[in-house]
Structure 1
Amino acid sequence: MSLSVCLLFDQRTDRALRALWGRLESIGVSTLLTHTHEKHLPHLSYAVLRSWDIDRVIEAVASLPASTPIPLHFDTVGHFHRGRAALIAAPCTDLLDRQKRMVSALTSTGADLHHYYLPGRWVPHTGLATHVRAAQLARMTSLAHDVLPLDATATGAAIIDSGTGLRHDLAIIP
């Protein structure tokens, strides 16, 4: 599977996204609510690693400067290949700078970063659907638009193993 370094949302945003996942599941759209181990959290990933040394990753992330909670603005639904869908965050300079620092720290450990998370290729997003069929796109998008625009705040961060759901909460927001 993969290891992600994620921003976690304030309670209001977390509840809104979980409720949206539930509405999507009710129309037959697969979401993170029922995906794999069912421990997924609403999040925005700075980076997704395909191979890593967990101790080196934790050390590298801990060496980054602590930052303040980051405001995020979601106003777009994106459809990625392989049936994935997400809410897209406006890529503000602060978010892009933080992600670039994170990638630099992680790649310095020898970890293999998924190419979609390279600076310049990364699309900041929070996942909605793990698999949406073409016939479901209009309804899924309509339900997503019911929560947009969504102003969120990333108030925490974690390193999460997507295969197991194991989570290492970070003491800082990088």
Structure 2
Amino acid sequence: MALAVCLLFDPRTDRLIRELWARLEEKGIRTLESHTHGRHLPHLSYAVLLEWDLGVVRSAMEDLPDKGGFEVSFQGTVAFPRGRAALAPAVPADVTARQEAVAAAVREAGGLLHRHYAPGRWVPHVSLATRATGTGLVVVVKEVADVLPLTGTIERAALVDSSTGQIWPLPGVP
């Protein structure tokens, strides 16, 4: 499927997002909790690659400077085509520059970057629902609104194979 450069949350934020996934699942909305292999982590992706050489991409990510973790503030829901719904985070200004550096590094490493992660096209989001349309989207928006505002902390990064859930931790947060 894909390899993603993911930003991962502190335990508290991870737990709160998983609780939101569980509430949505109880209401019949499919989330990352039950999607594909069921081993998804709450995350914010810097990049999604459609083709890659794991060793080369991993080395490129490890060569990027550690910019450290940061706080995000979730302010609402974003709806994408085909029923995908996500938390919409406000992020510090330098995070866009970080994402662009990651996108450039994976391209230089020979990775084929998904078009939605190209510089200038990236929309920061934390995936919730995988197929919420019509009334399902209304349920997602209501459940999200009931827990907002919410702040969270990005504290680590990893490469994640979305087809298997396999994770390769990175030494820092690019």
**2:85–2:137 contact (8 Å) kept in structure 1:** no
Which 4+ runs in 1 deviate beyond 6 A?
none
What residue is the counterpart of 1:56 in the other structure?
A: 56
The equivalent of 1:125 in structure 2 is 125
How much is the aligned-residue C-alpha RMSD, in angstroms?
0.9
Q: Is the 8 A contact 1:16 1:147 kept in 2?
A: no
2:127 counterpart SS class: strand
User: Contact 2:70 / 2:92 at 8 angstroms: preserved in 1?
Assistant: no
Q: In the TM superposition, what is the alpha-carbon distance from 1:91 to its structure 2 partner? A: 4.3
Structure 1 unaligned blocks of 5 or more:
none
2:17 equivalent to 1:14: no
Relative to the length of structure 1, the TM-score reads: 0.97
User: Counterpart of 1:36 in 2: which secondary structure?
Assistant: coil
Q: Does the residue aligned with 2:12 lie in a helix, a strand or coil?
A: helix
Question: What SS does the aligned partner of 1:152 have?
Answer: strand
Structure 1 segment 16-95 matched on structure 2, within 5 A: 16-95=16-95
Equivalent AA in structure 1 for residue 145 of structure 2 = H
* TM-score, normalised by the number of residues in structure 2: 0.97
Deviations 1:66-87 (A, max 9, x none): 1121111110200100110001
Q: How many residues align?
A: 174
Tell me if structure 1 keeps the 8 A contact 2:21–2:128: yes
Structure 2: runs of 5+ lacking an equivalent: none
Aligned counterparts of 2:90 and 2:135: Cα–Cα separation in 1? 27
The answer to whether the 8 A contact 1:69-1:173 is kept is: yes
